[in-house]
Structure 1
Amino acid sequence: MANDNARRIMNFPAIRPCESVALTSLLSSMINLGHKICGYKSRTLFANKKNARSSILLIESLLVFLEEIRNEGSMVGDSLVLSLSELYWVFQKVHFLLEDCTRVDARLLMLVNSEKVSNHLRVLIRAIALAMDVMSLAGLDVDIEVIELVDLVRTRARKATVEFERVDRRFVRKVLLIVNKFERGIAPESRDLRRILEHLGIRSWNECNREVKFLESEMSKECLTSDKRDLGLLSSLMAFLIYCRCILFEDIDSVKSDFQQRDGGFSSEMIQGLNSDDFNCPITLEIMTDPVTISTGQTYDRLSILKWFRSGNRTCPKTGERLMYTDLVQNLALKQLVTQYCSEKRIPFSETDVRNHGIVKSSIAGAGSLAAAQAMSLLAKYLAGRLAVGTIQEQQKAAYEIRLLTKSSSFNWTCCVEVGETIPSLLNLLCLGNPAAQENAMAALLNLSKYPKTNQLVAGNGGLNLVVDVLNEGLKPEARQHAAGALFYLSSVENNKREIGKMTGSISGLMNLLRDGSDRAKKNALLTIFVLLMCPENHSKFLESGLVPLLKNMLTNSEREELTTHSLATLSTLSEKLDGSMAIIHSGTLPIIIQIFNSSTSKPAEEYCVSLLLSLCINAGTYTVPFFIKNSSLMESLYSTLTSGTTHSSKKASSLLRILHAFDENVSDSSIASGTSQEQVVTAW
């Protein structure tokens, strides 16, 4: 049996047993599979209820015959083995179908595919009838009752009528009518939406959101196919469910996700003791939505490591080990743990997120279908209205929905921003004194600030000051973290760099995050500081605020490679000016930089180190050049970078070596002329 976690829904990779398979093994496998199929009698079916139960009853009857053969150990002929092999193949197909029909996260998709499922079941029951027709019972030492049962199953399989069930047909029509309304820009009636969800047993926000996440996963897989023929349908169904999630459910409930109810889940006590930083990808420092393991045993988010490989890198980003092959193995255990942790901690988590597989490409291109585009436009207006005139609970819910919608799709950004009231209303939520509302509004603004038009709207509505206020006085650490991230995108506008640098509390707030924030907050702060330093007026302000000692502390104490790299990048920018170079030297950071350069396997870290060392030589050579020449390990690392580094780092290393060689030659000439040893000259210099 194929791993169901690795296959797409409505995909049935059944395999036929080999010709040399032992009869006992074949019978045992069939009986085990038959019992699994019969186990679906106790599970809820959301479509094809009659057809599925008829198939289960048919196989249940066959189990009696199969167990009788196994118990008696009768001699059987080739025709019977051939029939059993065919039945085993059918059993697999039926099992896959029933697994899909009972999935609690795929109810809508299976409803829409119910006619296709009924056609599959019809073909499979006919295959059972055919296998039974050619089955020879001659020579079998079994009771007459068993033979009569086989005849009965054969007759029932021949006469079985499997058709598109009337109730499924009716609700499929209702779904398609609503999709058609979306395409025409018409908002459907809430009661029509509610009837469909009630039929599917979707009664809570979490259950609806689980369906959305499943469809996102299917869309990401569809984007990897060549024809992408189902992408439009999947997009429309996902838009249907998102619309229902936002319109019908007032409360975001805390129902346990289905994986927690399955065997093999992790205990709540274990989850409570974990730190979300443990689930971050070493490359992006973001929570891994699709963790995969490479040949070195290190785990990364799939899209991050693929981007690393596509950039021409054939090394492990964390260990630097050169890879013989770049195969990825999905880490299902970690994925389950991450999902459960996010659910229990109420951390917004989208299985495909902006990073997963290829869904980003479809999001950038558009909504995926006309129905999805129009539904999102209608929903953006609805949510903007809730933000503007709703109760505090309705405003908080609307902000949370916008936060989710804008996390992964540029099309959703556009829809929300184009509704003029969205940005001012989110800014107003920052000041209401409600921790959850402030956090969700700030996170939504962070997502929306990636869209250029948002910068104008935020600045035009006094939003820069409000974001800086949250950076310093946010009611939750997460809100302050999101504020730093929003400032990073808002600083992409040149005027905003200057304005943010002038604001009281902007620099000190970022410094406080660097000092006391979580790793992700530190990352946001570092990125924002890096961008703000591009404005010359901010350079001295950060130096006066003690940025260099904080960065030194980051280099010394941080275990996150990405934080080390961002710290080096910021120091490299500071070192481009004389006062920055002197601050780095006087802080005692230079030996730490050299140690990292000598030991790091990260190409970005290596590049920033070389740039830093070169700037220090140019701006403060009197202090640095003699120290570098005396450091033999540094010289070895520079030569190594010259031959195996990136193009940029190799050029920097070459320039730095020329400076050091020139100084070395001058010292040698001076020592010969004066009769003083080179070591004495270097020490005195």
Structure 2
Amino acid sequence: MPPPTGEPKRRRLLALPAVYPCEGISPAPLLASLLSLAADLTRRGGGAAGDAAAFPVLRRGVRHAARIAGLLLAFLEEIHDATAALPASAVLGLTELHVAMQKLRFLLTDCARRGARLWVLVNAGLAAAELRVVLRSVAAALDALPKGVVDASVEAGELARLASEQAWRAVPVRRDAGDERAARAVRSILEQFKSGVSPDAEDARRVLEHIGVGTWSDCSEEIAFLEDELRTRTDGFAGDDSNSSSSDAMLITSLVAFLVYCRVVLFDQIDVNPKADAAAARPAARCPDWIKPDALQCPITLDLMTDPVTVSTGQTYDRASITRWIKAGCRTCPVTGERLRTANVVPNAALRGIIERMLLSNGVSLPDASPAGAGHHRHGALGNTATPLLFGPAATGAARLAVAYLVAQLATGSTAERRKATSEARKLCKHSVFYRGCLVDANAVPWLLCLLSSMDASVQENAVASLLNLSKHPRGRAALFEAGGVGLVVDVINVGARAEARQNAAAVLFYLASDGPEQAEEIGRVPESIPTLVQLIRDGETHRGRKNAMVSLYGLLQCATSNHGKAVSAGAVAALAAVLSAVERGDDLAGDAVALLARLAERPVGAQAVLAWPGLVARVVEALATSASSRSGKDHCVALLVSLCRHGGEKVVAMLGRMPGLMASLYTLIADGSPQTCKRARALLNMIHRHYEMGDQPVPPPPASEAGERVVRVL
């Protein structure tokens, strides 16, 4: 039976599970497995005696355990060579030895684990106690072996007695003096954070040196481990009582904030992380052939959905974005425009499973969704991994001190310091509501706006990405408006140094417009805002940039009707017509273009512009008939045609009635479309029937039905 080759899934650090050999196992395979396990232990602890970097915590105890592992390996090899066949009475002792050695292996793995060293340090007492118990089990198992096995040879007897004596001698294992000093320093620093006092940088640096954290990426690796540990505990996988789990979670948030502070203050540059580079070099996650990657993005934020939920119209959004949309007072479905019958949402387990499989295929885990209303946040640094109750004074104080340091560097730092400060701000507020609030409260928004005009492309890109994340926070949006940042954001869309900066700036306008009609009108009053978005739709270099521009313009039109005329004057219809001509019908950009045209056509000025553009209506009818179009895309097509008839009159109705294929598409949608699409298709068919019934021309017939097909009568 080979030894375990890896840690169990979701195994807690310093939790030492073990698998007992099966009942009835014969001594020979058990001994072979023990030899393999002892050899692995010896390799793991081989550098413990001289390599402090491999085991920075509990070094003395680990060295002692490594020596015992070496003795065990020599003893097992001796009885393997000296005994032709072990007696059945040896199975019990060898089984207990096998279990103890498995636990020792887990413990050595934890003590040497990169990224978990601060957590092992603060739990050094628990680690020492676990080591004491494991070594005592090893000694007991050796003493329980039959005399015939131990005395198989003189060398075997001596090795067994020596290993047993060494294991029993290790019972009073204590923490190292260096571990004690470092742990006291951590506790002292956390107490200073509670008082809002910045600790001595050298004290923090000595703690990091003790655990072998010497670079920015090492610090980030420690943060990532603690965040994962916090998710495990808060999501109910810890197995501890609630009080203990809550106490541990609060300690973890404090340690995360401590490491964030160290990363911000102690390291002058962001070093290259080989693991991150390897991850970036991997191919992008692939979906099944029948799933389009864009279908996994939230239509509101355009980010990959991590907690997909379905609203009453049948559309799916990420829970956080649709909740924010509804709380902003918008009671319509962002995609279909249909009024939401209820604000309740239903988790889309099927789509979440698809996303999770796609990510896991590339070694990325999907954060666990939190139940609605439970007060939990998803993924990310401090602020998205636990309830607000877990943010103690130490975590809050450390976060505010780190943010204050960042804002000072944004204001007065050199170009290199600003480059690092904007990168840190971007990283901190990407997933953390807590840090977004801290940055807004520290008045970071005006300084980030100033850096939008930086000649350093990296500074500008990081600044606009930070503003995009801060615009997701209500106070962040208010700060952007108060600082007059709309015009500066629009300038980045026009002249940003990189395509990513331009597309992120376009997305900022969407979040600013989501605050309500007044804000959307204010954005529309900036002379270049809408023409700039139209230009990005027409000439954008990237798919994401053009999509962001469409979504932002859609938000401006939805929240403020005064923007329709400005969009038409800026050439929005021509730009959208060009998109429909350039992309395939099933492309998501085509669907967005039709949705935007439908929004424009809700006003007479937009409807007239659509009708005036040559061949545009015919392309919309073709898109309605193609099977590549999505259900929402077809709904937008029908909505557009209904608006054109309403504002264009009988002439437009007659034109649509003569278009080949339209009537068949409408009858199909009545039979198989969504309720909203069915309603609109029926309304359009009634318009066409009414027009022809009042004239002399015959009513266009419904599509010919073949045997077994349904015939739908429009009422």
| Per-residue deviation, residues 574-608 of structure 1 (Å, max 9, x unmatched) | 23234434544544355456646753685654554
CA contact (8 A) 1:283 1:304 kept: no
Aligned mates of 1:306, 1:218 — CA distance in 2: 28
**1:476-515 correspondence runs (5 A):** 476-493=498-515, 494-514=517-537, 515=539
Tell me which of 378, 395, 415 is aligned to 1:392. Answer: 415
Q: After superposition, what is the alpha-carbon deviation per residue over 1:210-254, rounded to whole angstroms, capped at 9, x for unaligned?
A: 212222222222221273422101100000000011111111122
* Residue pairs, 1:531-680, within 5 angstroms: 531-534=555-558, 535-552=560-577, 554=579, 557=583, 563=589, 565-584=591-610, 586=613, 587-588=615-616, 591=619, 595=623, 599=627, 604-605=632-633, 607-620=635-648, 621-625=653-657, 627=659, 630-641=662-673, 645=674, 650-661=675-686, 663-664=688-689, 667=692, 678-679=699-700
Equivalent AA in structure 2 for residue 245 of structure 1? R
Residue ranges of structure 2 left out of the alignment (5+ in a row): 309-315, 324-343, 367-375, 704-715
Q: Is the 8 A contact 2:623 2:634 kept in 1?
A: no
3-state SS in 2 of match to 1:221: helix
Alignment pair present for 1:214 and 2:225: yes
Q: Tell me the amino acid that sits aligned with residue 525 of structure 1.
A: A
Q: Please state how far the C-alpha of 1:85 moved relative to its aligned partner.
A: 1.9
State the shift of 1:388 in Å.
1.9
The one-letter amino acid of 2:475's match is K
| Contact 1:132-1:154 within 8 A present in 2 as well | yes
Q: What amino acid is the match of 1:240? A: F
Alpha carbons 2:185, 2:207 under 8 Å: kept: yes
How has the CA–CA distance of structure 1 residues 312 and 364 changed in structure 2, closer, same or farther, with 3 Å as cutoff?
Answer: closer
Instruction: Indicate if the aligned counterparts of 1:62 and 1:153 stay in contact, CA closer than 8 A.
Output: yes
Instruction: Evaluate the alpha carbon distance shift between residue 597 and residue 663 of structure 1 in structure 2; reply closer, same or farther with a 3 A threshold.
Output: closer
Contact 1:302 1:356 in 2 (8 A): no
Percent identical pairs in the alignment equals 30
Contact 1:403 1:440 (8 Å CA) reproduced: yes
Tell whether the 8 Å contact from 1:224 to 1:357 is kept in structure 2 after alignment: no
Mapped partners of 1:164, 1:558: distance in 2? 66
Q: Which residue of 1 aligns with 2:92?
A: 82
Deviation by residue 1:292-348 (Cα, 9 ceiling, x = unmatched): 9xxxxxxx99999999x973546559xxxxxxx88955855513699xxxxxxxxxx
* Among candidates 30, 33, 38, match of residue 29 of structure 1: 33
Q: Match of 1:473?
A: 495
Query: SS of the counterpart of 1:138?
Result: helix
Paired residue for 1:435? 457
* SS of aligned partner of 2:479: helix
Structure 2: which amino acid aligns with 1:59? Answer: A
Matching residue within 157, 168, 187 for 1:147: 157
Residues of 2 paired with 1:153 and 1:367: CA distance? 46
Identify which of 73, 80, 96 aligns with 2:106.
96
C-alpha contact (below 8 Å) 2:620/2:637 kept by paired residues? no
**1:370 matched to which residue of 2?**
393
Are the counterparts in 1 of residues 307 and 319 from structure 2 also a CA contact under 8 Å?
Answer: no
Query: Residues 450-475 of structure 1: CA distance to partner in whole angstroms, max 9, x if unpaired?
Result: 22233343333332211111111112
- Who is 1:530 aligned against? 554
Match of 2:296 among 283, 288, 301: 283
Which residue in the other structure is 1:175 paired with? 186
> Which of residues 38, 41, 47 is equivalent to 2:42?
38
Secondary structure of 1:334's partner?
coil
Cα distance in 1, alignment partners of residues 65 and 415 from structure 2: 51
Deviations 1:240-290 (A, max 9, x none): 000011111111122423x77xxxx67x9x65xx67999977522767698
Q: Deviations over 1:119-148 (max 9, x none)?
A: 111111111112112111426894321232
Give the AA of the match of 1:444.
S
Counterpart position of 1:311: 346
2:260 equivalent among 224, 236, 242: 242
Q: How many angstroms does 1:629 deviate by?
A: 7.1
Cα separation, 1, equivalents of 2:223 and 2:31: 40
Q: Which structure 1 segments of 5+ residues have no match?
A: 293-299, 318-324, 339-352
Deviations 1:1-21 (A, max 9, x none): 354564333333322121134
Return the alpha-carbon distance in structure 2 between the equivalents of residues 6 and 203 of structure 1: 27
Q: Report which of the two has the higher share of helix.
A: 1
Q: CA deviation at 1:554?
A: 4.5
> Is the CA contact 2:297–2:305 (under 8 Å) kept in the aligned structure 1?
no
- For residues 173 and 467 of structure 1, the distance between their equivalents in structure 2, rounded to whole angstroms, comes to 47
Distance 2:418 2:548 in 1: 26
Change in Cα spacing, 1:476 to 1:523, as seen in structure 2 (3 Å) is same
Amino acid across the alignment from 2:92: L
Alignment of 1:233-272 (within 5 A): 233-257=251-275
SS in 2 for 1:599: coil
Q: 1:404 aligns with which of 422, 427, 435?
A: 427
What is the letter of the counterpart of residue 545 of structure 1? Answer: A
Q: Distance in 2 between matches of 1:326 and 1:146?
A: 56
Work out whether residues 302 and 357 of structure 1, in 8 Å CA contact, stay in contact via their aligned partners in 2. Answer: no
Greater shift after overlay, 110-119 or 623-632? 623-632
Q: Which moved more, 1:148-157 or 1:551-560?
A: 551-560
Given the superposition, is the C-alpha separation of residues 255 and 146 from structure 1 closer, same or farther in structure 2, using an over 3 Å criterion?
A: same
1:62-84 superposed Cα distances (whole Å, 9 cap, x missing partner): 12233345556733334321222
Report if the CA contact (8 A) 2:506-2:552 is conserved: yes
- How many angstroms apart in 2 are the aligned matches of 1:451 and 1:432? 24
Deviations 1:98-120 (A, max 9, x none): 22211221111111111111111
Deviates more, 1:490-499 or 1:144-153: 490-499
Q: Does the C-alpha gap of structure 1 residues 330 and 652 become closer, same or farther in structure 2, counting only changes over 3 Å? A: closer
Taking a change above 3 Å as real, the CA distance of residues 290 and 617 of structure 1, as seen in their structure-2 partners, is closer
* Letter in structure 1 aligned against 2:546: K
Task: Tell me the CA shift for residue 504 of structure 1.
Answer: 3.8
Confirm or deny: 8 A CA contact 2:513 2:555 kept in the other structure.
yes
What TM-score do you get using the length of structure 2 for normalisation?
0.78
Kindly indicate whether the alpha-carbon contact (under 8 Å) linking 2:27 and 2:90 is maintained by their aligned counterparts in 1: no
Q: Could you tell me which amino acid in structure 2 is paired with residue 510 of structure 1?
A: L
Point out the more displaced range, 577-586 or 100-109.
577-586
Is 469-478 or 388-397 further displaced after alignment? 388-397
Shift in alpha-carbon separation, 1:596–1:91, aligned structure 2, 3 A: farther
Distance 1:31 1:289 in 2: 48
- After the TM superposition, which of the residue ranges 10-19 and 453-462 deviates more from structure 2? 453-462
Q: What residue in structure 1 maps to residue 15 of structure 2?
A: 11
Deviation at 1:156, TM superposition (A): 1.8
Point out the more displaced range, 456-465 or 441-450: 456-465
- Give the conservation status (yes or no) of the 8 Å contact 1:629–1:635: no
Deviation of 1:197 after TM superposition, in Å, equals 1.1
Secondary structure of the residue aligned to 1:335 is coil
CA shift in 2, pair 1:451/1:358, >3 Å: closer
Question: CA RMSD of the aligned region, Å?
Answer: 4.0
Retained in 2: the 8 A contact 1:600–1:606?
Answer: no
Q: 1:662 to 1:451 in 2, by over 3 A?
A: closer
